[in-house]
Structure 1
């Protein structure tokens, strides 16, 4: 609920948890985790508080409500009686970002150290996305931390390639430092790691995950050329950067009006919105990749054209022909046609 004070949890949803009896079956546990997921953003250290419930979910054939689960259940109910208020963060506040690596996270063979480097690259990308300037990286791999801090040299060819990628990304921060922290001393990250052994469908919605299909060091050189051909983004971006306008008066006026709907943030174009966050503008090849991932990727549902366009919009991406492109993509999908209902016209 949005109020003058900020964003508050819905009292009705809080009451649904407070009035719940302790779960007596797996189905009851699933109902509980579903309700928790709806309030996930209002639950601090969600991984710690809900870990006993997800341990129980793993034992589908042998349900047992333990004393640990009951204690966690009562503590959660008590915590929700004083739901926190979400407000705009103050300048210079510290932002904590926790990452865990799952065995299911990679569609290619990898070593533990390679997985640590992949997770670090993802984390640095997220830090850049929120425009962080000063960064402290805490990891439980002593080898990765010491190599990043230049305390030890990476002699292995693969590790050296990862290190070059990391160093290139770190140049985009004003200050940074990597520190080794054993996993047993970082309870929040360790609790998050416990989720990585669970099935994907059991993950709470407040935890986001990404599956990598190709090692970063194999695709890093392909990032620059993607979508470099001129497209609808370039005139708007050039106008916002330099004030350029076409010679034609009518076209100049159209561009000036159109550019009012966009903002340029650190060289990237975003579409403004009054009711949702800014939407990142995509070039044609990026848009095609977004359609593919949203429609048939790890979280793909083979949605219809309009629903697919709305899903990409909720993921905070935008391009002008999004709806038409989504409909066209669905028409080209063989799996969608294979499972589609057969029209009576076929028989006629």
Structure 2
């Protein structure tokens, strides 16, 4: 096998439209990947990767070790992954069986996989499956309580993980509500928190008998707002694999009860100990509003179509430009974000939203009516992006009345001034000739005018003819 590998041909260059093969292999301490192309019933290598695992990488599960060379290859060979169809082949059990062994032998040799490690790989795989089963069966416990008084409203949440780790959460409700609505808001916030923690089995506990009875259908919901709260809770409950809501006495829910009462009065001192959030609007819609979908295409439409469905615009040049441009963007929860080199991803907004962001930064409550460069820097620090940011900010600043009124005034002349210096009076004169005029006494018809630069003294003399002798 070593002789065969020694005589391997040089690395080939893929041709557009060819299907590529990617072989993966992993051992306890090394990983490798080989990309090949099949031509004339022969497999020719294109690129290979081989590296040693370091630090925490040595403790990866077998499947994670096998995925690591795929991740590295996709980053180094991003253009190949975008322009070609790649078939993944490995000796590990996957959904698609391996159909060729030539490239796999090369990957195995680079990874130096000994045969005695196969049993260990199977053990790790079985342990991984057992851990996944245990994670699917664990139960998260949720304790919620809401409080409302004349001074304000608040909610306290305690989420306990299967390992016994308690997560405390305090919410300040900055809108009018009653004790019942505060209890529902606390329960909904707790369910949202459990969903963020990716819990699949949840046991919720609350000291509000009304909430529990209305959820189970034992009490009627005559109020429309209560009916919306019940439907909202049931909708969130369906997102979990199993959900159970039980009533507990207030004595067994003291921690959440204390947090809700403290949040309803003042919660500034709680920010150092627990996570604090302020809700400015209820979780339900008080009025039925008909939503209108905006189907107008923006600068983000083509990028979203390519990232979501792989659709390219017409024309080779436009398609190539879109592939290169899409590398700078990503979709997160169906929202388009622009990748950032030194910070978090920036949310992309359309032209109308961009104008609103600029107005809020420049003319809002904390606006300082600064220049376009400062407005653009603040918008990017706030996490927003759109094309032609500087031009949009400049146009908005020019339309702002306060920016024009309070702008710094320049006292420079429109045209540069030309200084005229004289040493003493009557040292330098400016002479001009006026005429001809109708003849006067003595036949004169011209006028010679001389002006001193220093004193502005004027001398004038009528002449009959303009000659050199007379001008002296």
TM-score by length of 1: 0.51
Q: Does 1:197 align with 2:265?
A: yes
Q: What runs of 5+ residues in structure 1 fail to find an aligned partner?
A: 6-91
Q: CA RMSD in A?
A: 4.8
Cross-structure match for 2:366? 301
Higher share in helix: 1
The structure having more radius of gyration, on CA atoms, is 2
> How far does residue 317 in structure 1 lie from its aligned partner after superposition?
4.6
Q: Is 1:165–2:232 an aligned residue pair?
A: yes
Once residues 172 and 319 of structure 1 are traced to their aligned partners in structure 2, the CA distance between those partners, rounded to angstroms, is: 34
Rounded to whole Å, the distance in 2 between the matches of 1:327 and 1:99 is 43
* Alignment partner, residue 222 of structure 2: 155
For residues 192 and 352 of structure 2, the distance between their equivalents in structure 1, rounded to whole angstroms, comes to 20
Distance 1:347 1:248 in 2: 54
For residue 447 of structure 2, what is the aligned residue in structure 1? none
Query: Residues 283-309 of structure 1, C-alpha deviation per residue, up to 9 Å, x if partnerless?
Result: 556656766777888xx6335565665
Tell me the SS of whatever aligns to 2:285: helix
TM-superposed CA distance for 1:159, in Å, is 0.7
- How big is each residue's C-alpha offset from its partner over 1:102-133, in whole Å with a ceiling of 9 and x where there is no partner? 3xx334x32222234345555555666x4735
More strand per residue: 2
Match of 2:323 in 1: 256
| Residue 187 (structure 2) pairs with residue 132 (structure 1) | no
Determine helix, strand or coil for the equivalent of 1:345: coil
Q: Please state if 1:216 is matched with 2:284.
A: yes
CA distance in 2, matches of 1:310, 1:316: 10
The answer for the alignment partner of 2:179 in structure 1 is 112
- Structure 1 stretch displaced more, 245-254 or 283-292: 283-292
Report the Cα offset of residue 255 of structure 1: 1.4
Distance 1:199 1:165, change over 3 A: closer
Residue in structure 2 matched with residue 345 of structure 1 by the alignment = 409
- In the alignment, is the contact (CA less than 8 A) between 2:373 and 2:390 conserved in 1? yes
Taking the aligned partners of 2:164 and 2:384, their CA distance within structure 1 comes to 27
Q: In the alignment, is the contact (CA less than 8 A) between 2:169 and 2:274 conserved in 1?
A: no
Measured at CA, do residues 214 and 162 of structure 1 come closer, stay the same or move farther in structure 2, by a change above 3 Å?
closer
Matches of 1:341 and 1:264 in 2, distance apart?
43
From 298, 308, 314, give the equivalent of 1:241.
308
Residue aligning to 2:297: 230
Give, in whole Å, the separation in 1 of the partners of 2:221 and 2:227.
Answer: 5
Higher RCO structure, 1 or 2 (CA under 8 Å, sep 6+): 1
Shift of 1:231: 2.0
Q: Deviation per CA, 1:222-264: give whole Å up to 9, x if none.
A: 6x64655332332222112221101122221221112112223
Using a 3 Å threshold, how does the CA distance of structure 1 residues 154 and 203 change in structure 2: closer, same or farther?
A: same
Alpha carbons of 1:302 and 1:134: their partners in 2 closer, same or farther (altered >3 Å)?
A: farther
Kindly state the Cα deviation for residue 149 of structure 1 after the two structures are TM-superposed.
Answer: 5.0
| Alpha-carbon distance between aligned partners in 2 of 1:179 and 1:291, rounded to the nearest angstrom | 49
8 Å CA contact 2:307–2:331 kept in 1: the answer is yes
Q: Is 2:334 the partner of 1:267?
A: yes
Segment drifting more, 250-259 vs 228-237 = 228-237
Give the aligned length: 249
